[in-house]
Amino acid sequence: METEPSFFETSPTPNVVGKPLNRVDGRDKVMGRAKYSAEYPIPGLTYGVLKTSDIAKGKIQNIDTSAAAKAPGVLAIYTHLNIPKLAVTPNDAEGKKAIGAPMGFMPLTSDVIHYAGQPVAVVVADTFERATHAADLVRVTYLTEQPIAAYTDPKAKIFDPQKIQDGKTDGKTRRGDARAALASAPVQLTGVFTHAINHHNPMEPGATTAVWEAPDRLTVYESTQGVTRTQKALSTMLGLPQDQVRVITKYLGGGFGCKGSCWPHTVLTVLAAKGVGRPVKLSLTRKQQFTSMGHREDQTQTLTLGATKEGKLTALIHEKTSTTSPWDNYAESNSKIINMLYDCPNFEASYQLARGNVMTSTFTRAPGEAPGSFALESLMDDLAYKLNIDPIQIRLLNHADKDPTNGQPWSSKSLKECYARGAELFGWSKRNPKAGATRNGRLLVGMGMATASYPVHNSQGMARVRLYADGHAVVQSGATDLGTGTYTVMTQVAADSLGLPPEKIRFELGDTKLPTAPNSGGSVAAGTVSSSVYMAAQDVWERLTKLAIKDKKSPLFGAKAEEVAIENGRLQLKKNKAKGEDYMALMKRAGLDDIEGSGNGKYGAGYETGQSASPADSGYKEPPAAHSMHSFGAHFCEVQVDPDLGTVRVTRWVSVHGAGRILNAKTARSQIIGGSIFGIGAALMEATHRDNQFARYVNADLADYHIPVNADIPDMTVEFIDERDPYINAMGVKGIGEISMVGVSAAVGNAIFHATGKRVRDLPMTPDKILATKPV
Amino acid sequence: MNNFSYLQATQPKEATGAVRDNKQAAFIAGGTTLLDLMKLNVENHDQLVDINMLAFKGIEQTGDGLRIGALERMSDVGENPLVMQQYPMISQSLLQAASPQLRNMASIGGNLLQRTRCGYFRDTAFPCNKRQPGSGCPAQEGENRGLAILGGSKSCIATFPGDLAVALVALDAVLLLENAKGKQRRVPLVDFHLVPGNTPQRETVLEPGELIVSVTVPAAAHTRKSMYLKVRERTSYAYALASAAVGLDVQGGQIRSARVALGGVGTKPWRSREAEKVLTGAPATEATFRAAAAAALREAQPREHNRFKVELAQSTLVRALTELTAA
């Protein structure tokens, strides 16, 4: 392992890191000063509106644009016949690979319709309303074919993919001999679990403002979780050098994975702007959002476990079948968490897919781990009841002391502490172990829990620090802030790394002109960017130290670099702290108004091995490290179920996580709360319904696609276990964006089981399913 | 959404005349349903006639009951002390509907005319007999989980989505209507909405240009002892999976009079005289309530995904009756 300084060494008692600092961007947001990607008042701006397909499969027979073209204010109408051509499209394997961002199909490249809601035209007008009206006037006729709506369609062809999730995960995994182990296991349990289609539905829809600064130079204000990934995808498709495309995302109104790729509407906006020769802004409608940026796929999981009479797991066999698009092999990799969460010597997993005429599914918060943990943690609960063992006990009995997938030690793991602290905060000991035995008047009360885990993926990024001699600093990294607090936590890290108060730091992000950072996805952003910022500050100190020891007027003149330490902005000898000076004095003497440093922060296996990962492809290929790196946690849930009406209310919630260093107690708590609510939504109400005959959604709006309202959510208790992990990155940070949701739906389901004795295996667990399920 | 002209009417005749004379015109009050459907191209109007200036206001006790002006807002009526105390079912139905923002905008008259949330109706890419007569009803074999089990036909099973109308239909509310000639007529709410039959595009008995002026509700013992119970997937801002509006006059354990209507299950606000018949004169016991609930759902015709509503509606009704008599 390369010896790089770590935050643990230079800031053993941090000033502001970890503190519940208020959001530095909070005031701008509530005052309406924070500009989102569709809010830039660019001179000459025009408005693009998509016309989308009414059918899910077939061909465009004719597009009549005559009425639309005559409508007032219309500047252009682009269809597959006249839109400017792309240099590269993702429609073939080579193009797809070159583009990099997960993108498998580009509309308006032919007359073929693959899914309902596929763009068939882009209308550009001088106002949004005129463009919207003109889009309605475009008349499209189709040669309609019968679509396949889902893997459940009897006509769907189920196949075994070699790889899923864009080639990241094998279609089949084996460890040991699960079939043989199962056959000889005295306890055998099987559960079949289904998951409804879920949509991310960030508050801010997908939005693009495209400005061609010159015929070969483009600026895009984009609602994306990764400016670099978008830059790379766009420049490849347009045939431009990467530096000729600038992508800016200063604020993001949520993403949850749907803004982790480059999607067709962005490319269409760029092409329309090229065509009309003016800036074009395009914002998806809420309805279009449901067919434009992916979703969590409809899926069935069958999980079988074998165990000893004492409850020790001996075999796990997982099978998943799900719907994918005509061009992709996307499936969430549910089996990963099932493979690693418990000590089980035999494991087998396989994926099956069917092509439906649907937009492709994509990363959705905790992709794989969230639905995978629902199956595993529900079945573990069944095992606990079957053997009359406490649900926490059965998990402790199967606790994985090392990573069962490769036998490696964990870089850090506080799961036992999470169970213990969670149980204490929740009052688990007061729980009557018998299901269906606790009442509050008419209502049945249930308490359930589940384990959470999420990997520390491999990633890296860059940051730049410019320290001014007057005691201010500008810190930059091309990261994005989904609204979860990147601006704030990086300000804190920079403050402690530079020995400055946070109000003297300005942190800038969300621009490809800044040092490259990874996508904010897969929970890599906080750890990668904070490490980059920290390393950049170290670079500044190294430069200043070099300056000091060569400066005859410095008290440090003649010292060796390794003899000098930095404390609160002062350079001094480690052995004689009195001998040293303030950096401002040093810079003034040297005639420096400012000094810059840059840092390359590595995250995950790449940090431990010293190898690097391509920032835009974070998490793609993990080099072997000596440790397995995961965060762990536990959720505890109390529900009250109305046995006559089938309604479920979550009445208490406790989440305890061990996720490395927590950078900001307040934003971290908010993130766990947000992820838990996301999970409660998936557990109890979220479902997009696709008509089987038309392969088209029937509830594509926020009135009929239910997410929790405030009244559905109780006060939530969140705590973190202190963890000091030296193997994962210079800051010791594990991400918390995804783990907040993992295990949540199982915790809710387990509480429902405890309340009612009913095991509901179909998400969401709506009143009709609660009523229809028979108690065991 | 197409272009439209806008007329702000100051007199009823100005409004009713404009809409009678132009088939493409529509009244607008709160606009919470209308603008939504216009943006979806489900409704296309070339003229909107704003009636908010008309004097259809007032929430008052009259000699024999309650009178509510059609242009009162849902939130104002829901939080009105008279309504809360004397007609609790009406207040509850309003405050459990929509969201506070929508209730602040939406008018009473408009709410009674609220159109279905059927996903096939709301998306012009689907066939829909209500939107485009004769085009078909894919909901029959499709995603019909939220759709009606009472009052449906082969051409339409769209659920009436409202809450207030369910309460009002239970309490024998009468609408005062005014047409373009200035002529007024009274129509019991129970006769106001139509079941779809072969003409699902016709949802009410309103004539072209006719406006709702006010709603009156006769006072009775069962209006004071009344409640609205709504079962839904989330605690707020959700349409009913099933709801029950019940009013009872119970004396000495015997039910003297009963009013029952169901929401979320019918193609119109579903008054259940069958349930009332079972309840009236019977002891206020769980057995009676169950029998009444069974009677209310006897004619139910569920489809593949909404079968649960048969049981859920009965449970909801039993629960409402139980809670009301326990209070």
pLDDT in tens, A505-558: 999 999 999 999 999 999 999 999 999 999 999 999 999 999 999 999 999 999
Angle at A732 between CA A728 and CA A734, to 5 degrees: 75
The C-alpha atoms of residue B289 and residue B300 are separated, in whole angstroms, by 18
Return the H-helix or E-strand segment holding B4.
none
The C-alpha atoms of residue B150 and residue B129 are separated, in whole angstroms, by 18
Contacts of A630 (CB under 8 A, 6+ apart): A340, A403, A410, A413, A453, A454, A455, A456, A734
Q: Is the dihedral of CA B73, B75, B76, B78 positive or negative?
A: positive
State yes or no: pLDDT of A619 exceeds 60: no
Backbone φ/ψ region at A417: left (φ over 0), alpha (ψ -120 to 50), beta: alpha
Percent of chain B topping pLDDT 90: 99
Return the H-helix or E-strand segment holding B269.
none
Q: Cα–chain-centroid distance for residue A506?
A: 26
When scoring B37, B235, B239, B323 by the number of chain A Cβ atoms within 10 A, the one with the most, hence best to mutate, is: B235
* pLDDT tens sequence across A116-127: 999 999 999 999
Q: Output the 3-class SS for A74-139.
A: EEEEECCCCCCCCCCCCCCHHHHHHHCCCCCCCCCCCCEECCCCCEEEEEEECCHHHHHHHHHHCE
User: Of A664, A363, A613, which Cα lies nearest the Cα of A486?
Assistant: A664
Return the H-helix or E-strand segment holding B278.
helix B273-279
Residues of B in contact with A709 (CB under 8 A): 234-237
Q: Measure in Å the smallest separation between the Cα of A363 and chain B Cα atoms.
A: 26
ipTM: 0.97
Nearest to B236 among A649, A689, A709 (CB): A709
* pLDDT tens sequence across A487-511: 999 999 999 999 999 999 999 999 9
Largest Cα span, chain B: 62
Residue showing tokens 């008259």: B109
DSSP helix/strand/coil, B143: coil
The C-alpha atoms of residue A213 and residue A658 are separated, in whole angstroms, by 47
| Contact present, A549 and A562 (Cβ < 8 Å) | no
Q: Return the domain boundaries, chain B.
A: 221-326
Q: What pLDDT score does A610 carry? A: 84
State yes or no: pLDDT of A617 exceeds 60: no
For chain B, give the number of residues. Answer: 327
User: Of A449, A378, A438, A447, which Cα lies nearest the Cα of A643?
Assistant: A438
The C-alpha atoms of residue A226 and residue A216 are separated, in whole angstroms, by 22
How many other β-carbons are positioned within 10 Å of the β-carbon of residue A270?
26
| Position A618 confidence tier, pLDDT thresholds 50, 70, 90 | very low
The C-alpha atoms of residue A58 and residue A147 are separated, in whole angstroms, by 8
* pLDDT tens sequence across A578-591: 999 999 999 999 99
Letter for the amino acid at B68? I
| Contact present, B22 and B34 (Cβ < 8 Å) | no
State yes or no: pLDDT of A294 exceeds 80: yes
User: Of A520, A546, A47, which Cα lies nearest the Cα of A278?
Assistant: A47
DSSP letter, residue A498:
H
* pLDDT tens sequence across A87-98: 999 999 999 999
Tell me if chain B has a CB within 8 Å of the CB of A569. Answer: no
Are A771 and B312 a contacting pair at CB < 8 A?
yes
Q: Cα–chain-centroid distance for residue A281?
A: 26
The C-alpha atoms of residue B193 and residue B258 are separated, in whole angstroms, by 22
Angle at A144 between CA A142 and CA A145, to 5 degrees: 155
Q: Cα–chain-centroid distance for residue A422?
A: 25
| Contact present, A622 and A169 (Cβ < 8 Å) | no
Q: What pLDDT score does A100 carry? A: 83
Q: What pLDDT score does B196 carry? A: 98
Q: Measure in Å the smallest separation between the Cα of A413 and chain B Cα atoms.
A: 36
Q: Give the domains, in start order, of chain A with CATH numbers.
A: 46-146+200-292 (3.30.365.10), 299-456+629-772 (3.30.365.10), 458-616 (3.30.365.10)
The pair of structure tokens assigned to A118 is: 């596929």
Return the H-helix or E-strand segment holding A305.
strand A299-307
Fold of B221-326: Enolase-like; domain 1 (3.30.390)
| Contact present, A521 and A724 (Cβ < 8 Å) | no
| Position A2 confidence tier, pLDDT thresholds 50, 70, 90 | very low
Return the H-helix or E-strand segment holding B27.
strand B25-28
| Contact present, A603 and A528 (Cβ < 8 Å) | yes
Nearest to A136 among B1, B234, B319 (CB): B1
Spell out the long-range contacts of A235-241 with Cβ–Cβ below 8 A and sequence spacing 24 or more.
A236/A87, A236/A88, A236/A98, A236/A99, A236/A100, A237/A86, A237/A87, A237/A88, A237/A89, A237/A90, A237/A99, A237/A106, A237/A267, A238/A86, A238/A87, A238/A270, A239/A86, A239/A87, A239/A88, A240/A216
Tell me if chain B has a CB within 8 Å of the CB of A712. Answer: yes
The C-alpha atoms of residue A642 and residue A639 are separated, in whole angstroms, by 10
DSSP helix/strand/coil, A146: coil
Q: Helix-strand-coil percent breakdown of chain A, rounded to 5?
A: 30, 25, 45
| Contact present, A208 and A221 (Cβ < 8 Å) | yes
DSSP letter, residue B283:
B
Q: What pLDDT score does A620 carry? A: 53
The C-alpha atoms of residue B33 and residue B39 are separated, in whole angstroms, by 10
| Position A613 confidence tier, pLDDT thresholds 50, 70, 90 | low
* pLDDT tens sequence across A303-344: 999 999 999 999 999 999 999 999 999 999 999 999 999 999
If you average pLDDT over residues B44-57, what whole number do you get? 97
Q: What pLDDT score does A568 carry? A: 84
The C-alpha atoms of residue A300 and residue A151 are separated, in whole angstroms, by 9
Q: What pLDDT score does A615 carry? A: 45
State yes or no: pLDDT of A623 exceeds 80: no
Angle at B322 between CA B318 and CA B324, to 5 degrees: 120
Are A136 and B123 a contacting pair at CB < 8 A?
no
Q: Measure in Å the smallest separation between the Cα of B291 and chain A Cα atoms.
A: 16
| Contact present, B226 and B89 (Cβ < 8 Å) | yes
Tell me if chain B has a CB within 8 Å of the CB of A766. Answer: yes
Q: Parallel, antiparallel, or unpaired for β A46-52 and A280-283?
A: parallel
| Contact present, A724 and A412 (Cβ < 8 Å) | yes
Interface subset of A 642-681, CB within 8 angstroms of B: 644-647, 649
Tell me if chain B has a CB within 8 Å of the CB of A703. Answer: yes
For chain A, give the number of residues. Answer: 776
Letter for the amino acid at A642? D
State yes or no: pLDDT of A12 exceeds 90: no
Are B2 and A133 a contacting pair at CB < 8 A?
yes
Tell me if chain B has a CB within 8 Å of the CB of A768. Answer: yes
Q: Parallel, antiparallel, or unpaired for β A564-567 and B226-231?
A: unpaired
| Contact present, B265 and B307 (Cβ < 8 Å) | no
State yes or no: pLDDT of A1 exceeds 80: no
Are B315 and A649 a contacting pair at CB < 8 A?
no
DSSP helix/strand/coil, A21: coil
Are A767 and B117 a contacting pair at CB < 8 A?
no
| Position A3 confidence tier, pLDDT thresholds 50, 70, 90 | low
Q: Cα–chain-centroid distance for residue A676?
A: 14
Q: What pLDDT score does A320 carry? A: 98
If you average pLDDT over residues A396-416, what whole number do you get? 98
Residues of B in contact with A651 (CB under 8 A): none
Active site residues of A: 738
User: Of A489, A495, A474, A475, which Cα lies nearest the Cα of A520?
Assistant: A489
Summary mean pLDDT of chain B:
97
CA dihedral A110, A116, A117, A122 (to 10 degrees): 30
Are B312 and A132 a contacting pair at CB < 8 A?
no
The C-alpha atoms of residue A671 and residue A652 are separated, in whole angstroms, by 18
Q: Which residues pair with B8 in a beta bridge?
A: B50
